[in-house]
């Protein structure tokens, strides 16, 4: 039970001991006191397990302090560890972590800072793929479990074009896009890429592949030929092959980790606590059920207690109205313009909030919601500085929001751009024919049937839709030009996509750096030496979370609708696999906005990299 509770309540797999055990519950050596009189070296662990959160969990405040670690808190923990005088080694243990490339880049910069302060960094994993190897390229010692698999075959991308599949079931997609390179409509409207989209996405893939190679060659001191040889051999390799290719340093069995480090340091190991360990409330200790029930009535902290930098999260598809978790297809967040505007007003009203960092990881979405959020950001920027940090993506509506800030930070592999507009509707005549459904339509008003489910748009209707979309595109480009004074739209607009480092060359962003870099840069700008960091939108109370959950549960039609969607999503996830599903879900969520939003600022997020 002690081990079970430790794994349930530990933020990052904190070491759990049982009496007399020589190994911790996770297989690492247990903490032991050094033998008196011998030289010792303090070693601390950082576990990376599962998905790294971009924003705090809604229950984080309830579990104490920061709750589950986020990318920002992990990077901060690495920086804090770098300042510990007696700390010698940080061991980063990768345990089935679902690392994104941009997260590796942000973690890597913190690892470099720790090494520059005199700390040694070791990475241990039972298996290495491209992202784990890139993480290792920032370390002093890359260690793999003896017999562990290694895979580094390159970068493969798959796109799915559905026009023929839709036609087979009787659906025709009437899609319009403004921007020759936009591409977001092509999955529905074509059976293959247009020349412009092929050029656009191929250049993006070249940039991402080049970034990966650069990290591996620089970190592992390999030249092009050596890396090519390694990739040719390690499309399905093993630990010994990876060591021979120069991609890992040490092949050991996990129980030998302590002796391996002791040999490297010529000192006995003294194990310290996990560097990202947080103190959290123990819901099982003291007070029994009444203590737990008292926590249900607690209110989360929502007001800053001193000089504060706010971190505003725009994470997911952008929609009108309120933000939601889960989405139509399950597992994906949506960012509601109303929720973000309310959070911005809270930030504006708080005198202790001195500035804002907007963290964006979004493929875009609703054109009107993106404009509303942009207006809110500019409203705050009139009173307080607004910096922007791009995670994996700020595309289309996500980039629309980004240009509302005063300064934009990107990671080298962030996907930026997609300045364009896409919209349309589905004609279901073929479905009705197959199902023997006869549809009678009746309309009153000159344009009442514009978004009917039968019959394609006429040439006149297409012209009307394109005209409205062109107005949206013109507004979008005006917002970009206002926020990015030196940008050349002839090279950056019309739906083009770029990696972060290329975006800086094109004046679409200002600096390479992660969320912590943006916060620290803003603090310097504000001359803040001591400050708090507070996430917005703020956490919900237990009563609000229960109300949200039960409110949807009690609405019977909504339950049937969501349950059916969840069943379909579960089937799709099973067929394509978890990794592919995580990437295509956001795109499908965005396209489903066409039920209510015929004009979208959405980027092509369904890019499946292997």
Exposed / middle / buried, residue 350 (Cβ in 10 Å: 0-12, 13-18, 19+): middle
**Helices and strands in the chain, H and E counts:** 23, 24
Residue 22 has pLDDT above 60, yes or no: no
Task: Of 457, 499, 483, give the one whose Cα is nearest residue 609.
Answer: 499
Task: Return the ∠ at Cα 398 (arms to 396 and 403), rounded to 5°.
Answer: 95
Tens of pLDDT, residues 104-148 = 999 999 999 999 999 999 999 999 999 999 999 999 999 999 999
Please tell me the predicted confidence (pLDDT) of residue 279.
41
Exposed / middle / buried, residue 563 (Cβ in 10 Å: 0-12, 13-18, 19+): exposed
Candidates 3.40.50.410, 1.10.150.530, 3.90.226.10, 3.40.50.2300; correct CATH number of 308-438+458-539+584-609? Answer: 3.90.226.10
- The tokens of 463 are what? 């012209």
Residues in CB range of 87: below 8 A, 6 or more apart: 42, 43, 44, 81, 119, 272
DSSP state of 53: B
> Got the DSSP string for 420-438?
-EEEEEEE-HHHHHHTT--
Please tell me the predicted confidence (pLDDT) of residue 284.
45
Please tell me the predicted confidence (pLDDT) of residue 296.
54
Please tell me the predicted confidence (pLDDT) of residue 92.
96
Tens of pLDDT, residues 318-340 = 988 888 775 444 445 789 999 99
Residue 292 has pLDDT above 90, yes or no: no
Task: Of 255, 248, 263, 258, give the one whose Cα is nearest residue 143.
Answer: 248
Kindly indicate the confidence band of residue 172, based on its pLDDT and cuts at 50, 70 and 90.
confident
Average pLDDT over residues 24-46: 65
Kindly indicate the confidence band of residue 409, based on its pLDDT and cuts at 50, 70 and 90.
very high
Tens of pLDDT, residues 139-161 = 999 999 999 999 998 888 778 88
Kindly indicate the confidence band of residue 206, based on its pLDDT and cuts at 50, 70 and 90.
very high
Tens of pLDDT, residues 263-274 = 999 999 999 988
Own/partner contacts of 433-436, CB < 8 Å, gap of 24 or more, are: 433/170, 434/169, 434/170
**What CATH number has the domain spanning 2-152+247-271?**
3.90.226.10
Please tell me the predicted confidence (pLDDT) of residue 167.
87
- Full-model pTM: 0.81
Share of the chain above pLDDT 70, in %: 75
Please tell me the predicted confidence (pLDDT) of residue 598.
56
Residue 204 has pLDDT above 50, yes or no: yes
Alpha-carbon distance 150 to 144, whole Å? 9
Neighbours of 236 (CB within 10 A): 11
Tens of pLDDT, residues 474-485 = 999 999 999 999
Please tell me the predicted confidence (pLDDT) of residue 452.
87
Please tell me the predicted confidence (pLDDT) of residue 10.
30
Please tell me the predicted confidence (pLDDT) of residue 133.
96
Locate CATH 3.90.226.10 in the chain.
2-152+247-271, 308-438+458-539+584-609
Please tell me the predicted confidence (pLDDT) of residue 222.
96
Residue 367 has pLDDT above 70, yes or no: yes
Average pLDDT over residues 461-480: 92
Residue 12 has pLDDT above 50, yes or no: no
Tens of pLDDT, residues 38-68 = 688 999 999 998 888 888 766 555 555 555 7
CA dihedral 548→551→554→556, nearest 10 degrees, is -90
Kindly indicate the confidence band of residue 347, based on its pLDDT and cuts at 50, 70 and 90.
very high
Alpha-carbon distance 4 to 9, whole Å? 9
Residue 16 has pLDDT above 50, yes or no: no
Q: Decide which of 167 and 37 is more confident.
A: 167
Q: Decide which of 65 and 597 is more confident.
A: 597
Average pLDDT over residues 338-354: 94
Residue 527 has pLDDT above 80, yes or no: yes
Average pLDDT over residues 375-401: 96
Q: CA dist 494 to 179, 270, 423, Å?
A: 4, 57, 14
Q: Which of 163-172, 358-367, 510-519, 554-563 has the lowest mean pLDDT?
A: 554-563
């Amino acid at each position: 039970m002690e081990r079970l509770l430790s794994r349930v309540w530990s933020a990052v797999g904190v070491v759990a001991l049982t009496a007399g055990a020589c190994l911790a519950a996770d297989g690492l050596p247990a903490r032991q006191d050094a033998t008196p009189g011998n030289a010792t070296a303090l070693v601390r662990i950082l576990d990376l397990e599962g998905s790294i959160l971009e924003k705090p969990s809604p229950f984080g405040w309830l579990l104490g302090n920061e709750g589950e670690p986020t990318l920002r808190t992990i990077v901060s923990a690495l920086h804090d560890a770098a300042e510990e005088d007696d700390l010698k080694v940080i061991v980063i243990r990768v345990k089935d972590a679902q690392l994104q490339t941009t997260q590796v880049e942000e973690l890597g910069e913190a690892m470099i800072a720790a090494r520059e302060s005199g700390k040694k960094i070791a990475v241990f994993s039972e298996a290495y793929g491209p992202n784990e190897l890139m993480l290792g390229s920032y370390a002093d010692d890359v260690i793999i479990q003896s017999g562990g698999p290694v895979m580094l075959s390159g970068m493969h991308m798959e796109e799915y074009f559905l026009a023929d599949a839709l036609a087979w079931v009787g659906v025709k997609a009437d899609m319009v896009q403004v921007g020759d390179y936009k591409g977001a409509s092509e999955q529905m409207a074509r059976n293959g890429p247009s020349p412009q989209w092929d050029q656009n996405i191929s250049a993006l893939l070249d940039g991402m592949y080049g970034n990966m190679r650069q990290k591996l060659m620089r970190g592992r001191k390999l030249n092009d030929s050596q890396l090519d040889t390694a990739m040719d051999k390690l499309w399905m390799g093993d630990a010994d092959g990876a060591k021979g290719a120069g991609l890992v340093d040490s092949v050991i069995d996990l129980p030998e980790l302590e002796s391996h480090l002791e040999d490297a340091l010529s000192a006995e190991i003294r194990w310290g606590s996990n560097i990202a360990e947080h103190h959290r409330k123990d819901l099982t200790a003291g007070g029994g059920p009444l203590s737990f029930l008292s926590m249900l009535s607690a209110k989360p902290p929502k007001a800053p207690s001193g000089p504060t930098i706010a971190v505003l999260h725009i994470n997911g598809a952008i929609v009108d109205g309120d933000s939601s978790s889960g989405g139509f297809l399950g597992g994906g967040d949506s960012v509601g313009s109303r929720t973000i505007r309310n959070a911005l007003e809270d930030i504006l009203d708080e005198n202790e909030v001195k500035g804002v960092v907007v963290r964006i990881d979004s493929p875009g979405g609703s054109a009107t919601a993106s404009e509303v959020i942009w207006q809110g950001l500019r409203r705050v920027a009139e009173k307080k500085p607004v910096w922007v940090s791009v995670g994996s993506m700020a595309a289309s509506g996500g980039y629309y929001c980004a240009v509302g800030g005063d300064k934009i930070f990107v990671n080298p592999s962030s996907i930026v751009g997609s300045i364009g507009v896409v919209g349309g509707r589905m004609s279901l005549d073929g479905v009705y024919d197959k199902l023997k459904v006869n549809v009678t339509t009746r309309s009153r008003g000159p344009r009442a049937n514009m978004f009917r489910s039968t019959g394609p748009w006429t040439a006149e209707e297409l012209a009307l839709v394109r005209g409205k979309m062109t107005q949206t595109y013109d507004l979008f480009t005006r917002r970009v030009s206002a926020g990015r004074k030196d940008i050349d739209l002839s090279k950056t607009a019309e739906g083009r996509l770029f990696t972060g480092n290329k975006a800086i060359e094109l004046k679409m962003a200002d600096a390479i750096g992660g969320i912590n870099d943006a916060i620290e840069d803003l603090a310097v700008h504000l001359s803040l030496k001591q400050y708090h960091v507070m996430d917005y939108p703020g956490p919900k109370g237990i009563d609000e979370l229960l109300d949200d959950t039960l409110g949807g549960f009690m609405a019977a039609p909504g339950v049937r609708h969501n349950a059916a969607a969840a069943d379909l999503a579960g089937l799709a996830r099973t067929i394509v696999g978890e990794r592919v599903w995580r990437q295509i879900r956001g795109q499908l969520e965005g396209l489903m906005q066409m039920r209510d939003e015929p004009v979208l600022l959405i980027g092509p997020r369904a890019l499946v990299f292997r």
